Chain A
């Protein structure tokens, strides 16, 4: 229990939230029936995970837009939380999913070049931006923006307000005035995922002043655990709607409480990984690969295929983070997509025969030199690649002793929870952790 408490605190969950939470958990965990196959520690983690999910809102909150009328969304938050970027992302997202015609309105007349920033983002997305520079009052801009939107048939308007401190009364009053002029269906608080204990105070003040309808957590592509999300949800009791996952303008996703709970606990975002794998991997391909691996006949051709699958799924760094236990190792391991490309080049420089029978390369130094020269890499890298393949084979052999009934083709990672320990070991063994996916 102490570990869970520390884990939550290290994830920046608010102290008070942690306190009541651990108390509740203690009661629940002792009352719970012991589930088959879980040891007491796992049992507690399971209870905690469920309770966290509940705290984060339970079900995923689906964002719905007004179909018939114009939908107004107002964004608010501290300085530097990512409102302007989020405004662009959100407009783009809703345009794509709900076929709305969006207009962005620049109300940050204070920060130098904030208007320019929104205009540039609008250009990149091909979404019009209504702005009046920095001389006009935000409230007046709103009125004129709305008549402009009416005239030109925009039916989604997103207002980017200036960042402000929650304790700055005059600025918060301005925000209230803007709100009553817009009369928006949605007011979203934009919060940086890296926020610490202060998240509670920030969320509370903004909610008290504006009555927010939802929130958006940004910069979740960092290595923060994002405990602020929990505090935020707990204090405001409004759903977290979206999360920002990068600087690119399509890097926004619907927020899933369950996955966030895993992340806060440091369990890895297994569900997102499963989703990604299912989206991108051909089931038959995968079963073939499985069989090959199990039989120990795994060669460079298969390895290459596996790499390509991983590539299709997106950045390796992002994927690795979703694997329980891998998150910590990421800091030391230099995993990046460039390495995947290097491996591809290396394999590309092998003859067909060599790819089928890796031992040919292992036995023959001149073959290794040729491959290195041909791919423009070093001989040491060829050696490392050979070792990686060998280690993977060994790992698969170990896995082969697992109960095959656990391998559900529809849900390739189902067995993973029980495999946490071996997964970690295998990764560590390979040092750099590259290409480390076994399906």
Chain B
């Protein structure tokens, strides 16, 4: 039995995958159904077919390097196993994608929290959805019975503090802010003291969006990270890069640079409910080893899911298999 069929055996898993199915409908329609067409329309495995497959993956923003490697590997496997029918490529493609993502390690998408006060730091470039993601994570953790406090660490962008405050009121959690323009590190410092007093379980720290090539802003972020670690050993327990699914190749540069500065523990892939495929996240995992932990599939508080590579691939290929 093929890997994929094994994956989708359990009924529970299939049900869980429904959400992906809906959220990623556009992805499937626009790109991965085409894989079916391509494979069906080719009688033999030819160079043209490989080109078409390559094209499909690049269209999903999977990254030129990753795609070229993937297709090269595909060629090798085909030769090795003497595969003749294009139809048989499906499973090899899926298997290869899966292997590339998992890469021998156990991917744990659960958020790592300590028994004491945990700190989650959210970083990323401008406009990726950090603030909205924090609201969703707060909602998720509160459903798990945690006492949550949001920290308005974006003291720079106009309206950022108000935006997070509004969310904290909607999800009904604690909220910490200082005046706009305050030093973000001092905001974190004070927030941690406050959280200790109030017996908070999880502190969700927003930061200002910053482009990764802005040296001074990255240094500011490094300081924020350092201050948090100084106040609570082992913190931040998670540093999550929030990444817009529409992002192209620049996503790799984002992951690398933010990782250098803050030691990322995961990626939150947002706006997957659009037509974008977010394939760059796969490239990020392959080149940096940073896993996708959460995905955003819409604008309401419930539209956040733990990332599951099996379901993701299922979402991509469910019509193919």
Flag if A202 contacts B249 (CB, 8 Å).
no
Flag if A6 contacts B213 (CB, 8 Å).
no
Q: Interface-forming stretch among A37-45, A106-114, A284-292, A413-421?
A: A106-114
Q: Interface-forming stretch among B72-80, B161-169, B308-316?
A: B161-169
Q: Does A222 contact B (CB under 8 A)?
A: yes
Flag if A82 contacts B126 (CB, 8 Å).
yes
Output the nearest chain A residue to B213 by Cβ-Cβ distance.
Answer: A223
For the complex formed, measure the closest distance between the CB of B279 and the CB atoms of chain A, giving whole angstroms: 8
Q: Does A172 contact B (CB under 8 A)?
A: no
CA distance A10 to B131 in the complex (A): 29
Q: Which of A15, A165, A167, A194 contacts B58 (CB 8 A)?
A: A15
CA distance A192 to B243 in the complex (A): 13
Collect the chain B residues with CB atoms within 8 Å of residue A111's CB: 163
Q: Which of B64, B161, B271, B275 contacts A9 (CB 8 A)?
A: B64
CA distance A196 to B27 in the complex (A): 14
Q: Does A79 contact B (CB under 8 A)?
A: yes
For the complex formed, measure the closest distance between the CB of B208 and the CB atoms of chain A, giving whole angstroms: 9
Q: Does A334 contact B (CB under 8 A)?
A: yes
Collect the chain B residues with CB atoms within 8 Å of residue A222's CB: 125, 211-213, 250
Q: Interface-forming stretch among A91-99, A117-125, A179-187?
A: A117-125
Collect the chain B residues with CB atoms within 8 Å of residue A116's CB: 158-159, 162-163
Flag if A198 contacts B160 (CB, 8 Å).
no
Q: Does A219 contact B (CB under 8 A)?
A: yes
CA distance A335 to B214 in the complex (A): 10
For the complex formed, measure the closest distance between the CB of B178 and the CB atoms of chain A, giving whole angstroms: 16
Flag if B250 contacts A112 (CB, 8 Å).
no
For the complex formed, measure the closest distance between the CB of A106 and the CB atoms of chain B, giving whole angstroms: 10
Collect the chain B residues with CB atoms within 8 Å of residue A331's CB: 213, 253, 257
For the complex formed, measure the closest distance between the CB of A338 and the CB atoms of chain B, giving whole angstroms: 8
Contacts beyond the supplied A116-B159, A335-B215: 11 A-B pairs with Cβ under 8 Å:
A15-B59, A78-B246, A78-B271, A84-B159, A113-B159, A124-B158, A194-B244, A196-B248, A197-B59, A224-B249, A224-B253
Q: Does A201 contact B (CB under 8 A)?
A: yes
Q: Given the known A-B contacts A112-B166, A192-B244, A223-B213, are A10 and B249 also in contact in the complex, defined by CB atoms under 8 Å? A: yes
Flag if B212 contacts A223 (CB, 8 Å).
yes
Collect the chain A residues with CB atoms within 8 Å of residue B289's CB: none
Q: Does B109 contact A (CB under 8 A)?
A: no
CA distance A331 to B59 in the complex (A): 26
Collect the chain A residues with CB atoms within 8 Å of residue B177's CB: none
Collect the chain B residues with CB atoms within 8 Å of residue A15's CB: 55, 58-59
Q: Does A400 contact B (CB under 8 A)?
A: no
A-facing mask of B46-83, CB < 8 A → 1, else 0? 00000000010011110010000000000000000000
Q: Given the known A-B contacts A15-B58, A166-B274, are A113 and B166 also in contact in the complex, defined by CB atoms under 8 Å? A: yes
| Most central of A117, A196, A198, A335 by chain B CB within 10 Å | A196
CA distance A221 to B244 in the complex (A): 18
Q: Does B26 contact A (CB under 8 A)?
A: yes
B-facing mask of A144-188, CB < 8 A → 1, else 0? 000000000000000000000111000000000000000000000
Flag if B248 contacts A227 (CB, 8 Å).
yes
Flag if B126 contacts A247 (CB, 8 Å).
yes
Count how many chain B residues have C-beta atoms less than 8 Å from C-beta atoms of the other chain. Answer: 48
Residue numbers of A with Cβ under 8 A of B are: 6, 9-12, 15, 19, 78-82, 84, 111-121, 124, 165-167, 192, 194-199, 201-202, 219, 221-225, 227-228, 247, 317, 330-331, 334-336, 338
Flag if A197 contacts B159 (CB, 8 Å).
no
Collect the chain B residues with CB atoms within 8 Å of residue A247's CB: 126, 156-157
Flag if B274 contacts A165 (CB, 8 Å).
yes
Collect the chain A residues with CB atoms within 8 Å of residue B212's CB: 222-223
Collect the chain A residues with CB atoms within 8 Å of residue B163's CB: 111-114, 116-117
Output the nearest chain A residue to B165 by Cβ-Cβ distance.
Answer: A113
Collect the chain B residues with CB atoms within 8 Å of residue A224's CB: 248-250, 253
User: Which chain B residues numbered 207 to 251 have a C-beta less than 8 Å away from chain A?
Assistant: 211-216, 244, 246-251
For the complex formed, measure the closest distance between the CB of B58 and the CB atoms of chain A, giving whole angstroms: 5
CA distance A15 to B62 in the complex (A): 12
Flag if B273 contacts A165 (CB, 8 Å).
yes
Output the nearest chain B residue to A163 by Cβ-Cβ distance.
Answer: B127
Flag if B162 contacts A113 (CB, 8 Å).
yes
Flag if A197 contacts B58 (CB, 8 Å).
yes
Pairs across A and B, CB under 8 Å, 27 listed: A9-B64, A12-B61, A15-B58, A80-B128, A80-B129, A84-B158, A84-B159, A112-B162, A112-B163, A112-B170, A113-B163, A114-B159, A117-B157, A117-B158, A118-B159, A120-B158, A124-B158, A192-B246, A195-B248, A197-B58, A202-B246, A221-B214, A222-B250, A224-B250, A331-B253, A335-B215, A336-B216
Q: Given the known A-B contacts A112-B162, A112-B167, A224-B250, are A197 and B61 also in contact in the complex, defined by CB atoms under 8 Å? A: yes
Q: Which of B60, B61, B129 contacts A79 (CB 8 A)?
A: B129
For the complex formed, measure the closest distance between the CB of A232 and the CB atoms of chain B, giving whole angstroms: 12
Q: Which of A195, A225, A335 contacts B246 (CB 8 A)?
A: A195
| Most central of A118, A198, A199, A317 by chain B CB within 10 Å | A198
Flag if A80 contacts B275 (CB, 8 Å).
no
Flag if B166 contacts A195 (CB, 8 Å).
no
Flag if B159 contacts A12 (CB, 8 Å).
no
Q: Given the known A-B contacts A12-B249, A165-B271, are A79 and B127 also in contact in the complex, defined by CB atoms under 8 Å? A: yes
Output the nearest chain B residue to A81 by Cβ-Cβ distance.
Answer: B127
CA distance A247 to B126 in the complex (A): 9
Flag if B159 contacts A317 (CB, 8 Å).
no
| Most central of A116, A224, A228 by chain B CB within 10 Å | A224
Output the nearest chain A residue to B248 by Cβ-Cβ distance.
Answer: A196
Collect the chain A residues with CB atoms within 8 Å of residue B277's CB: 197-198
Output the nearest chain B residue to A121 by Cβ-Cβ distance.
Answer: B158
Q: Given the known A-B contacts A113-B159, A317-B215, are A198 and B275 also in contact in the complex, defined by CB atoms under 8 Å? A: yes
Flag if A12 contacts B275 (CB, 8 Å).
no
Q: Does B284 contact A (CB under 8 A)?
A: no
Collect the chain A residues with CB atoms within 8 Å of residue B271's CB: 78-80, 165
Q: Given the known A-B contacts A112-B162, A198-B274, A198-B277, are A334 and B246 also in contact in the complex, defined by CB atoms under 8 Å? A: no
Flag if B26 contacts A12 (CB, 8 Å).
no
Output the nearest chain B residue to A192 by Cβ-Cβ distance.
Answer: B127
CA distance A115 to B162 in the complex (A): 10
Output the nearest chain B residue to A6 by Cβ-Cβ distance.
Answer: B64
Q: Given the known A-B contacts A12-B248, A165-B274, A198-B246, are A120 and B211 also in contact in the complex, defined by CB atoms under 8 Å? A: no
